[in-house]
Chains A and B, each alone.
Chain A
Amino acid sequence: MKKYLLFLIGLLALSSTHAQTGSLSGRVYDSVNVKVIPYASISAIRKSDSVLVKHTRSNIQGKFTLNALPADTFIILIAHASFIDFVDEVNMNEKEVKNLGDYNLIQRGSVLRDVIISNKAGIKVKGDTLEFLADSFKVKQGAMVEDLLKVLPGIQVNKKGEITAMGEKVEKVLVDGEEFFGDDPTVATQNIQSKVIDKVQVFDKKSEQAAFTGFDDGQEQKTINLKLKKNMNKGVFGKVELGGGPDDRWQNQGMINSFKNKRQISAYGLMSSNGKTGLGWEDKNKYTGDGPSMQMDEDGGFMWNSFDGEEDGNSWGAQIPEGYTKAWTGGVHFADKWNENKQHINTNYSFGRVNRTKSERSYTENLFPGNTFESIDTSQSFSSRNTHKLTTRYEFNPDTSLAIIYNLNSRVGFTDGETQNTTGNINSNEVPISQRKTINTSTATTARVNNQLTINKKFKKAGRTLSFNSSYNYNKNSGHGDLSGDNAFTIGGTLTHNLIDQKKEDDYLSNVGSADLTYTEPLSKKFLLKTSYGFSSENTESGKKTFVKAAGSSQYTTLIDSLSNVYSLQVISHTAGTELKYNEKKYNVTLGAKVRYSSFDQHDAIRNKQYNYNRVNLFPTLRFNYKFDQFRRITFSYSGSTKQPSITQLQPVQDNTNPINIVVGNPNLKIAYNQNININYFSYQVLSSRSIYAGLMGGNTFNNISSTRILDSLGRTVTSYVNLNGGYNASLWGGINTKLFKSAFEGKLNLNGSFANTPNIINQVKGNTHTVSMTFTPGIAYTKEDKYYFSLDLGTIYTLTKNSLQTSRDIRFFSFAPSASVTYSLPHHFEIGTDADYQYNPPVGPYTNSFSRFIWNGELSYKMLANKNLEWNLSMKDILNQNRGYERNTSINNNTERYFATLGRYWMVGMVWNFNTGPVAKGQNAGPKGPRPGGGRRMRMMR
């Protein structure tokens, strides 16, 4: 009887719990061998406290069901000794019955076996994240994060510090999930020691909007997150680097970090005279948001901006730095979370002073129908820029459904510069046509402030979201300067001098305010609808004034109308858009379009003319993603967009910055419509670390805004703009990176091709320029853990340029750019490294001289102290002293060869000291450990 009663109570209890609990089911699958996985263990672990709530095994069909799960957030851990652990996060609602479909596990392949077996769980797949436990991988003592990344399977780091993960370029490196000193990943990878790292996580970061609404915008960035060890909470760590050599060469930098729980404080400083500027000053994309804002064409658009081209960054993927640079930069970073992580702030301030001296000489062959002449251009310039940058992001999450985000991006720059320029034009019989000498000094101030406020609200119904976004951008440039010079023309044997003595004043002010509202609604389990409306208002005022001395006066008071203009432009836009997304397990399709109505109100104050016009534009998009599995996918996208003519292209004023190269605007320009298709395939095989990628991009533009050139009777070229059809461009790329012969050899083969057809009008004759460029790069690399590293790349480039105006002058040549690099660890903690780059361009067509350059660098370093925290090094750059800048540039109707000065041979002696005060300094790692006898309650739980 008692038993019976108990049974009854039990039954009741069971049914009552059943009423509020849900169940989770799925199947465990080995997609490589195409079979189900029985006996995998599946655990549901409560996220909040790591408590194991339910667990089960997959059955013979690989299927599993976890019953009686209460409403909560769970970490689902799928484990099987033959496969890499898989971790996923699942949110269970009350009484929810979820089928998660297939979980694809990755076999602990033979190549990775050593790594995983001998290092316990070195690698793990966590949803879409690949995670490496840092302590499981062997690096030299005193190694930096960069050295750690090099030994992780599937990750490569090249000489310049660029990182490739799973065959894709890494765009961002976060520290504990926080953006760290802007977008220059090397600040983190080269300044933080590997032993403070707990985990390295690799994933595709979606844009904020995409992550929130569930609509991919194709803006995924390969991202690495460096999770620091928990015990980094105490003490400070950082790096001091000093280096110097003869001929005024120095490079000193330092970084100090103090992290405590969620709070990060870091400071960074650098001074150098060898071209390194650090801190990724080239983050241009932060200031050019998409949407209705006016496109500013900066090249030649505003003369006073020419020294503010944000060109100082040489740290990340730059070619040979131009000129001689002295830089003093520094910054501080602060991030914190408080109030149970509901409030989050991340702010960075940086300062940079960059002084640059440049000198260059270029030879240009100008081709006009029936007229060919050569220009020789020499210039020397000095510029000094001081820039202050402040970015702040504040996020407030009152509850899990609501987020309020404020972003501030601001930048103030002060520039002084002077340029001396001499240009001579010679006709085909080597008779001088014209000669020009100018001296141009300028002082400019630029200020950009970008404010953005976003409110995101999630509703109870999964997939229903509302997002409000508003922004205000302020952009002001002002500058003044002097232009003096002498223009000499020889026409018909007569020499005419034309002296220039002008003062220029330049002001540009733009205020852009915008607001938009986006709503997403799930129509069914598979269809998701997004609708949006946006409004923007933009006011731009541009003034370019040229003054000369009034007769008999030494004051520059006379305004030259033909060389001046004061413009104002007002654009009001309304944008409405809708997108429909169809979601299947393996693929999704998004189809959508935006319509934009813009009204333009343009006023020319000097000529007192008003231009008013309206435009309606359509922006269709189509995207298709197919994910075969975690590491293999194909995407297709189509997009259309308009391009507004820039204010420079529109305004009918002569820009005589360069008096024999005159630019005239065309107020009748139509808006161009550009369409693009993009197909991308990517696959990565964990077993063999093999990545294969291929892609195709094609686009054409209707009413393309093209330049036209006229060589006038005075030997001057006049450039203007016109709408032209018939242009297209296409590119294709593909490559394979793989381990060779199951050894430590890694091989790669990359192919890039680009094709373009550009119609043009020259001296009122319509023509076509056709260019083809193909790059073929086979390469091989060999890494022996912490012993030696060797790499060799053989780059070969094919270039073809055909111009319908010059049919006999097709330019066709192969150039070569091989490079090699070796580092070798010697006994007693010495290390030697050397690398070489060679470039060869053959003589062809207009380029009568061949060019070759062999740059050879070498470095010897020695590490000391118990933790190898102190390094001494001796380095020599360009040992053969062959470095010089060289560029070939073929455009519509001219071919330019440019030689520029750059830093040649120099040597430096330096030291690097990595410091740690805190638990890590004492060699205590939080890595896998045995039982702690007498241990307290120190738990390291799964997050």
Chain B
Amino acid sequence: MKHWISLCLFLLWQGQANAQTEKTTPPISLKGKLTFERKMNNHKQMDEMAKGMGNPAMAETFKKQIPKYKTDVFELFFTDKKSIYKPAKDGITESKMMMGAMPADRNIVYNNYENHTYTAEKKLFEKTYLVSDSLKQYQWKITEEFRKIAGFNCRRAETIIMDSVYVIAFYTDAIVAEGGPEGFNGLPGMILGIVMPRLNITYFATQYDNYLGDETVIDPPGKGDKVNYHDLDDKIRSSMKQWGDFMQRILWYVNL
């Protein structure tokens, strides 16, 4: 049976490949690797942080010291049943910000679409947490706008997370795995682009590889203190009270 599927897909893929001359994407992808680029606006980030801590003037000093944008590279390995999202080798540009790295900026996220489970390794300052829970749930609104990302024709969807952050996602139904960068999931295909204007962050896939060598790369991470979503939230709230409004922003980043 499996052979039959592969043959069928191969034929579909072949048909498509023969007809097109430009760089092609498969009509249906059951496994592969995606490379994502995460882009953050450092200066905006600064403004928010300074504002949150009640010292807007502080931002201007720091802005001079750091570049406007920070770009990081992640990889997403997937089959139709599971996926792992993690920083690429040397993918993280080390930040020159005051307190070093932003919290949870190098998450390793494992999604299992069969069992609906989520396992993520998140680094918050000096501590590493292993968050295990069910897949995150979103109420997606589907639109009729399209955009081409990494060769795929992507449809735009929108949602609001954590009651306050507006998220624009672009997904393609050509990839069967229903994941995306970080914990994003739940659309009828793979999310290749995420834009969160309020957080000044974008994620866009830059490359698709139709080859996945060893499926064992997609294994849940195992390091860190075991927590669930709720525990982690509590921990942050209790330990970061002095951060004022900025804590809310940290929570948003951590909970992505």
Measured CB to CB, the residues of A under 8 A from B are 38-43, 45, 49-52, 55-57, 60, 77, 79-82, 110, 113, 117, 120-121, 928-935, 937, 939-942
Contacts and interface: CB of A to CB of B under 8 A. Distances in A.
Nearest to B30: A39
Contact of B197 (A45, A932, A939): A932
Contacts of A77: 142
Nearest to B172: A81
A937 B195 contact: no
B142 A38 contact: no
Contacts of A50: 141-143
B95 interface: no
A60 B4 contact: yes
A56 B189 CA distance: 10
Contacts of B140: 51-52
Interface stretch (B145-153, B218-226, B233-241): B145-153
Contact of A79 (B141, B147, B186, B188): B188
| 7 nearest A-B residue pairs (beta carbon) | A120-B146, A931-B195, A41-B173, A55-B188, A81-B27, A41-B188, A82-B27
B66 interface: no
29 contacts: A38-B8, A40-B173, A41-B189, A43-B188, A50-B141, A50-B142, A50-B143, A52-B139, A52-B140, A52-B142, A52-B188, A57-B188, A60-B5, A80-B27, A81-B26, A81-B153, A82-B12, A113-B19, A120-B147, A120-B148, A928-B145, A928-B146, A931-B197, A935-B195, A937-B166, A940-B143, A941-B141, A941-B144, A942-B144
B141 A49 contact: yes
The main secondary structure of chain A at its interface with chain B is loop
Interface of B: 1, 4-5, 8-9, 12, 15-16, 19-20, 25-28, 139-148, 152-153, 155, 157-158, 166, 168, 172-174, 176, 186-189, 193, 195, 197, 202
Contact of B1 (A40, A45, A60, A110): A60
A39 B176 contact: yes
B168 A931 contact: yes
A60 B147 CA distance: 29
B142 A933 contact: no
Contacts of A45: 142
A929 B145 contact: yes
Given A928-B147, A941-B144, 18 more contacts: A39-B28, A41-B189, A43-B188, A45-B142, A51-B141, A52-B139, A52-B188, A55-B187, A57-B188, A60-B8, A79-B188, A82-B15, A82-B16, A121-B146, A932-B197, A933-B197, A935-B197, A942-B142
Nearest to A939: B158
Contacts of A930: 147
Nearest to A935: B197
A599 B163 CA distance: 73
Contacts of B155: 79, 121
A81 B195 contact: no
Contacts of B195: 931, 933, 935
Contacts of B147: 120, 928-930
A939 B146 contact: no
A928 B173 CA distance: 18
Contacts of B168: 931, 935
Contacts of A56: 188
A57 B176 contact: yes
Given A52-B188, A60-B1, A934-B197, A81 B148 contact: no
Given A43-B142, A82-B12, A934-B197, A52 B28 contact: no
Contact of B141 (A41, A52, A113): A52
Nearest to A45: B142
Contact of A939 (B8, B143, B186, B202): B143
Contact of B28 (A80, A110, A117, A942): A80
A43 B140 CA distance: 11
B172 to A, nearest CB: 8
A79 B173 contact: yes
Contacts of B143: 50, 939-942
Contacts of A935: 166, 168, 195, 197
Most buried by B among A52, A77, A121: A52
A60 B146 CA distance: 28
A42 B197 CA distance: 29
B34 to A, nearest CB: 16
